[in-house]
Amino acid sequence: MKILHFYKTFAADQHGGVEMFIRHLTHATHLQGCENVVLSLAKEAVPSVQEADYELIQAKEDFNLASTGISFSSFKLFAKLAESADIIHYHFPWPFMDLVHFASRVKKPTVVTYHSDIVRQRLLKLLYSPLQNMFLNSVDRIIATSPNYLESSPVLANYRDKSGAIPIGLEQSMYPAFEPEKVAELQARHGRFFLFVGVLRYYKGLEYLLQAMQGMDWPLLIVGAGPLEQELMQMAASRKLKNVHFIGQVTEQEKVNLFAACYAVIFPSHLRSEAFGISLLEAAMFGKPMVCSEIGTGTSFINKDEVSGFVVPPEDALAMRDAMAKLWNSPALAADYGAAARERYLNVFTSRLMGEAYIKVYADLLGR
């Protein structure tokens, strides 16, 4: 089977959630016999690149409106690539993608991975809704990234007859192995420590995590950069949180070392803009206990309350502090939850399982 993936951004140096999903999905499906082509946009047109698991083709982005990349050349390029594809695999949301879909008059079977509702851009959502509904009505299958999101999305409630859920999966061999000496250095420097990994955005709930740290002496490492970095650093300084360390952006190798070294992972996202939580899944892969918030998305599907960690109400710093204290004060409990997280990763969240599930969808559509 030849699969054409279409998403607004995709390159080797991009590590957003959707980009990581496509990378791990194409790896899994390639091993099972699929030929993958990924079409995305770039600031400048570049020659196609043949990687082990996919061919990457990028059209020039002409301009960007409300985080929506637009490329005039992609209409013709998409139509040409669609001709030789067996399945078109869209990654939602991206309003420009819907326009390309209709302009190209696609006649091939179509799958949409529904990564997220449009949450924050209310005006865009209002203007886009008619096109969104036409697009989702026109495609053959819609796949949410977790059963929780399928159940909680008001948009997907309208398409239950053709919707399902396939959890995102990760291939551990695509990560570098942790470096024992670097892990030992981190543990010698910080002792036991909590870890957050992610882009420092409005929906990550880090202000509540800093409130939870008030008066506590647990080390917390915050890894990542983003729009709120300076504001959060000032907040930590004003609260005299000397045990909170902002690490900034790190390499994949450094990230792996941090996951291996940490005691537990904290993921305080409080809004539905956090549709899944890849770094929570990475925590499970590394066998770490977790604390997250219940926001009706993939976060509480990855982290099962009192199985692999604790799930607390969103925006509740006291509940988060209490959950962190339970883990901190009981290394045996933390170890049990970490082992359960690893077992859940192996049983639910590997890229092989994800790839097999998507290939069944592809084959079903072709069989029709």
Question: 271 with 293: CB under 8 angstroms?
Answer: no
Residues 237, 231: Cα–Cα separation, whole Å: 10
Q: What is the pLDDT of residues 92-148, one digit of tens each?
A: 999 999 999 999 998 999 999 999 998 776 667 778 899 999 999 999 999 999 999
The reported pLDDT for the residue numbered 229 is 97
Q: Taking all residues of the chain, what is their mean pLDDT, rounded to a whole number? A: 95
Q: Look up tokens 């190209």; give the residue.
A: 104
Q: What is the mean pLDDT of residues 51-60?
A: 96
Please say if the pLDDT value at position 221 is more than 90.
yes
Residues 201, 225: Cα–Cα separation, whole Å: 9
Q: What is the mean pLDDT of residues 278-293?
A: 98
- Pairing state of beta strands 244-248 and 264-267? unpaired
The reported pLDDT for the residue numbered 88 is 98
Question: 225 with 199: CB under 8 angstroms?
Answer: yes
Please say if the pLDDT value at position 45 is more than 90.
no
In this prediction the pTM is 0.94
Residue % of the chain over a pLDDT of 70: 98
Other residues' Cβ atoms within 10 Å of the Cβ of residue 171: 19
Residue 219: cis peptide before it, omega within 30 degrees of 0? no
Give the phi and the psi of residue 10 in degrees, each rounded to 5.
-170, 120
Helix, strand or coil for residue 26? helix
What angle in degrees, to the nearest 10, is found between the helix axes of 317-329 and 331-348?
100
Residue 176: cis peptide before it, omega within 30 degrees of 0? no
**CA 216 → CA 138, 151, 180, 213, 312, distances in Å?**
53, 37, 29, 5, 18
Q: What is the pLDDT of residues 335-366, one digit of tens each?
A: 999 999 999 999 999 999 999 999 999 999 99
Paired tokens of 138: 């026109």
Q: What is the pLDDT of residues 141-176, one digit of tens each?
A: 999 999 999 999 999 999 999 999 999 999 999 999
Residues 308, 319: Cα–Cα separation, whole Å: 17
Q: What is the pLDDT of residues 235-257, one digit of tens each?
A: 999 999 999 999 999 999 999 99
Amino acid, single-letter form, for residue 302: I
Task: Report all structural domains of the chain as residue ranges with CATH numbers, in order of start.
Answer: 2-171+350-367 (3.40.50.2000), 176-348 (3.40.50.2000)
Please say if the pLDDT value at position 328 is more than 90.
yes
Question: 243 with 218: CB under 8 angstroms?
Answer: yes
The DSSP H or E segment spanning 73 is helix 73-84
